[in-house]
């Protein structure tokens, strides 16, 4: 295997499949054949649309990104594959890697994480999303018995809701304008509400909708001294929210959470690798399966990214299937 194919954003709003010449794996490398990738809809559609602010070009680089924003750029970070060559202990094993959409690739062996037995390849593409959710809970530090809402029922919001629902005594409500998310919330162990009917007086709100309206709703739902943990990334879009009214008198707070660094509450005691391994272990839970909403072929990825960026569908995680990708399902 000396060649592969990769998806590139050639310019804002346009993508194409390009050939890749693979390097010869060194003694500490692995050659991975991709089974599936996942599209991180929020970030990747901002990248595809050319909406990464210039000030964030360095910060938003993916681990194995090639090229630069706004393009041409090869971007992505939810990749599940099988090791074809490398250390004997890894050959034939299914692994997760923070690698873009590409049919095969060579990386250092330390860059891949074993997918645990009992986690299908299809579900394993959610590892990066669940890792973000783990980091968010480390930032949020929910307490037993807390009343919590997650505003925004996208793939990150749903993953956060599932982890919150596993905390003893926590009541969690998933809030979204799309009422079709209600059955998903039930599977995750959460309640569901549209914004106008969401319960107030909450101890904690996690915001993931990526909209000004969602952030305002999050603040409005808090009890005095409550906190919003903000996971949304807005790219270059302006954000408008009212900090007048009772914002100060209720002593509300907004805290940013971002997966690029281990949350301060665990920094120095957990590594990025340990956090990712934890996320993959949590994916033994089939309750995450409703986050997988549709599959497309790798060769159709340019059209799929355009469709998702235009907002034609409110998918959660669209999986990309590669040749022989079904082999990783067992």
In tens, the pLDDT along 175-221 reads: 999 999 999 999 999 999 999 999 999 999 999 999 999 999 999 99
199 shares its domain with 103: no
Residues 141 and 211 occupy one common structural domain: yes
In angstroms, rounded to a whole number, what is the distance separating the alpha carbons of residues 98 and 80? 9
Residues 103 and 133 reside in one and the same domain: no
In the numeric block, which tokens belong to residue 45?
A: 């559609």
Summary count for the chain: helices (H), strands (E): 8, 17
Instruction: Indicate if 242 and 288 belong to the same structural domain.
Output: no
In this structure, are 102 and 46 located in the same domain?
A: yes
- Mean pLDDT, the chain, integer: 93
pLDDT reported for residue 41: 82
Q: What is the CATH number of the domain that holds 207?
A: 3.40.50.720
93 and 113 in a single domain? The answer is yes
| Claim to verify: residue 153 and residue 252 sit in the same structural domain | yes
Say how many domains are in the chain.
Answer: 2
- 330 pLDDT above the threshold of 90: no
In a domain, 261, yes or no: no
Question: Is the Cβ–Cβ distance between 69 and 57 less than 8 Å?
Answer: yes
Give the helix/strand (H/E) hosting 278: helix 272-282
242 inside domain: yes
pLDDT band at 329 (very low <50, low <70, confident <90, very high): very low
- Has residue 327 got a pLDDT over 70? no
Residue 298: which residues within 8 A CB-CB, separation 6 or more?
5, 7, 17, 37, 101, 103, 320, 321, 322, 323
Assess if residue 262 is contained within a domain: no
pTM tops 0.85, yes or no: yes
Residues 148 and 58 in one domain: no
> How confident is the model over 271-288, as pLDDT tens digits?
999 999 999 999 999 999
Are 114 and 146 part of one and the same domain?
Answer: no
Same domain for 141 and 30: no
* Residue 193 belongs to domain spanning: 129-256
| Residue linked to tokens 């074993």 | 114
Q: Find the CATH number of the domain harbouring 292.
A: 3.90.180.10
Which residue among 256, 274, 299 closes a domain?
256
The string of DSSP codes covering 73-113 is EE----EEEEEEESSTTTTT-EEEE---SBSEEEEEGGGEE
116 plus 155 within the same structural domain: no
């Amino acid at each position: 295997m000396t060649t592969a194919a990769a998806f590139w954003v050639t310019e804002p709003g346009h993508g194409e499949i390009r050939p890749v010449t693979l390097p010869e794996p060194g003694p500490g490398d692995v050659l991975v054949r991709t089974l599936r990738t996942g599209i991180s809809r929020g970030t990747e559609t901002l990248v595809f649309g050319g909406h990464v602010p210039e000030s964030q070009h360095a910060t938003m680089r993916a681990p194995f990104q090639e090229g630069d924003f706004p393009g041409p750029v090869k971007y992505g970070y939810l990749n599940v594959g099988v090791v074809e060559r490398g250390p004997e202990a890894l050959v034939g094993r299914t692994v997760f890697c923070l690698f873009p959409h590409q049919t095969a690739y060579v990386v250092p062996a330390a860059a891949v994480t074993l997918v645990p037995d009992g986690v299908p390849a299809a579900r394993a593409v959610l590892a990066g999303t669940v890792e973000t959710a783990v980091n968010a809970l480390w930032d949020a530090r929910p307490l037993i018995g807390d009343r919590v809402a997650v505003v925004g029922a996208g793939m990150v919001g749903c993953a956060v809701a599932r982890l919150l629902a596993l905390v003893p005594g926590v009541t969690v409500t998933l809030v979204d304008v799309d009422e079709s998310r209600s059955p998903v919330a039930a599977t995750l162990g959460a309640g569901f509400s549209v914004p106008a009917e969401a319960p107030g007086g909450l101890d904690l709100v996690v915001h993931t909708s990526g909209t000004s309206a969602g952030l305002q709703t999050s603040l409005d739902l808090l009890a005095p001294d409550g906190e919003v943990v903000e996971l949304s990334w807005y790219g270059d879009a302006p954000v408008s929210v009212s900090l007048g009214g009772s914002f100060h008198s209720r002593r509300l707070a907004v805290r940013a959470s971002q997966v690029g660094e281990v949350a301060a509450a665990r920094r120095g005691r957990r590594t990025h690798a340990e956090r990712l391994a934890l996320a993959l272990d949590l994916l033994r839970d089939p309750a995450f399966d409703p986050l997988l909403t549709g599959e497309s072929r790798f060769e159709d990825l340019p059209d799929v990214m355009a469709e998702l960026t235009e907002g034609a569908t409110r998918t959660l995680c669209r999986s990309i299937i590669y040749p022989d990708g079904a082999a990783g399902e067992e």
